[in-house]
A and B are shown apart, each in its own frame.
Chain A
């Protein structure tokens, strides 16, 4: 206790955002200085003030929700209160969020220090219809409670006065404890006894702590307390034996972790206090977001709505995309004609520019509008807050798979690009969940595959482009689910814990924001066209042009020879050597499948001619099988590199390549054979 000439040391504690800094400023005015807590970079603020002839030294402790040793802030607060022995702790409690804030209060009370509650933000609480009986609250907790409104500097003088009267022993202070129930209380008593009987602990260590608090912490298996205590008491001492015995007994009684039981009791105590002292005038109204969620995340309707939005996205992509696509088509054709007219020799240069560069890169670039439209759709779904709901809707399926609900997040990201999606699996705590999610992620169809679907659906399913593309995406999801189930069953057995997700409210996306997102993502596709796809197209042109004298892109060219070597592998799927070459080069980046056809066919980027060219080698049945193969087979080079990096294993990287190749072959084979059985033209 402070003497008359010694300043009264007051520590300010409280939850983050409870208004602690404002109260600190109100108490100290400008008389404060800022530093760091010893050994850490957490800010320490200290200030002084005079009141009623006494000097108050005020220490602003870091904001924290509890006094366990889980975070640095918690340890700082706990160590300060126990080791520095302030005369009093002012606990800033947010009155509008009182149930959560009082949890810290119960722990401060347990420490055995003098506590005064500054019940802050009273104005907000009143506006929300929360009426708090201050007298009763103080009575139930056994500590003084002072209502304050920090932002308006209300209650500051009363707080200072209460601080002084409490320190001087004038204000009421009753020693109220959280009652943990008969079994735990008995063990706490035994432990308190053992602590007090341990000479060294009681003389050298206990001075800083209340024996009850120490006993509770030992039951909670608080590592820091155990570590500190072990400096004063041997592991085999009577005290530590009692600790083991008490823990063992309580575990046999409750069959669960003792800390959970203790924390549960603290929350029970807080709930009891709040029930008595707090009254709510009205329930918070149901928000518009809640109403929308009742439909969009409904157990029955949720998934159909999700499927409808996905279908709509592809429908819009192709319906709206065809107009700007035609403009780019004309532009590319004009560029090809310009080169043909102006660069007549040497012939190889003309061929390389028209067949290789314009034919290869141009055939991919014409799909740029569709890429942009799909990104607009994704941005809208994301900015409205719907994408977060999609994870919720899929959670039930994820659980059925034995996967963590969080796994759906990287899987959703896979629709954009598999590279960041594989990296995003780092958010999964379980290695098994992570491995399964990495392995199935490439089955989520990334936008790089969209030009392939766009090209083939335009050539073979012109009237139902959106629906057919949607079915390919759906096929990817179904296969991901099936493979995850298999991997969980045979490779990574285990269970996953449930998850709780904070959903953002629904918002109206802004036009500017949506277009910025679209450009950010779509421009990457443009960059890729100018680099990887351009290089791939030139390589493909060289392979189609050489050896000199052969017919361009024929079976006698280098590309043809490579294709013929691989052809037996794809023949059972109804594909020819050109498909084998396209798939081989698509290994670098999936868009190269399209540019390969653009180059191989030697018709420039002319979509109509590419389509008619494709009609010579594919039927709708084999085209669908080819799209399925492109969806499933070996992820692109960048994804493979990131899988290696994330798994840290060549074995699993090889497995990812191998299983996807095999799966692609099997699925394409089944599509082809079932189609033939159904009488479709192969």
Chain B
């Protein structure tokens, strides 16, 4: 199943919805997150959780022009 998941992701024309991916590889949609996390642990793909992409790694929020751009920015001052 893992190889099929990888194949579907690699050969996809664009974003694949979890629902579609689950249908294509014949697993229940709710099982997919766990399988994807395992593949991530194995270094075969990486996962970006909702909101994670907005996070920056600024250590001093005051120095950043985009405090809201990162999830924690501007809330606690210096991280």
Contacts and interface: CB of A to CB of B under 8 A. Distances in A.
Contacts of B28: 98-99, 271, 274
B3 to A, nearest CB: 8
Contact of B48 (A260, A286, A406, A421): A406
Contact of B31 (A271, A404, A406): A271
A500 B63 CA distance: 31
Given A100-B34, A409-B53, A502-B49, A416 B27 contact: no
A531 interface: no
A429 interface: yes
A502 B16 CA distance: 10
A497 B40 CA distance: 10
B26 to A, nearest CB: 7
A284 interface: yes
Interface in A323-343: none
B51 A297 contact: no
A420 interface: yes
Given A504-B50, A520-B74, A423 B59 contact: yes
B45 A298 contact: no
Contact of A499 (B19, B34, B45, B66): B45
A404 B44 CA distance: 12
A426 interface: yes
A103 B57 contact: no
A424 B68 contact: no
B77 interface: no
Given A268-B1, A497-B43, A521-B69, A302 B64 contact: no
Interface in A248-269: 257, 259-260, 263-264, 267-268
A521 B27 contact: no
Interface residues of B, number: 52
B41 interface: yes
A424 B43 contact: no
A382 B44 CA distance: 29
A93 to B, nearest CB: 11
Given A65-B37, A260-B42, A267-B27, A302 B14 contact: yes
Interface string B3-45: 0001001100111010100000011111101111110111111
A121 B55 CA distance: 33
A499 B30 contact: no
Contact of A99 (B27, B45, B57, B68): B27
B76 interface: no
A271 B53 contact: no
A643 interface: no
Contacts of B14: 297-299, 302, 392-393, 396
Contacts of B43: 429, 497
Contact of A521 (B9, B47, B54, B66): B66
Contacts of B67: 520-521, 524
A151 interface: no
Nearest to B31: A99
A500 B45 contact: yes
Contacts of B66: 413, 416-417, 420, 520-521, 524
A424 B56 contact: yes
Range class of the A interface residue count: 35 or more
A179 interface: no
B69 A416 contact: yes
Given A98-B30, A267-B27, A499 B53 contact: no
Contacts of A497: 43-46
A564 interface: no
A315 interface: no
A503 B65 contact: no
A501 interface: yes
Contacts of B40: 500
Given A406-B48, A521-B66, A382 B33 contact: no
A208 interface: no
A543 B66 CA distance: 33
Contacts of A387: 53-54
B51 A100 contact: no
Nearest to B44: A497
Interface centre among A270, A379, A420, A500 (most CB of B within 10 A): A500
Nearest to B63: A419
B41 A70 contact: yes
A44 interface: no
Contacts of A70: 41
Nearest to A103: B34
A497 B20 CA distance: 21
Nearest to A97: B30
A424 B57 contact: yes
A424 B72 CA distance: 13
Nearest to B41: A70
B35 A517 contact: no
A126 to B, nearest CB: 16
A424 B15 CA distance: 23
5 contacts: A99-B27, A260-B38, A409-B48, A424-B57, A498-B6
Given A387-B54, A499-B45, 12 more contacts: A96-B30, A97-B30, A100-B33, A263-B38, A299-B14, A379-B68, A389-B15, A424-B56, A425-B57, A502-B50, A521-B67, A525-B65
Query: Closest 4 A-B residue pairs measured CB to CB?
Result: A99-B31, A99-B28, A524-B65, A420-B56
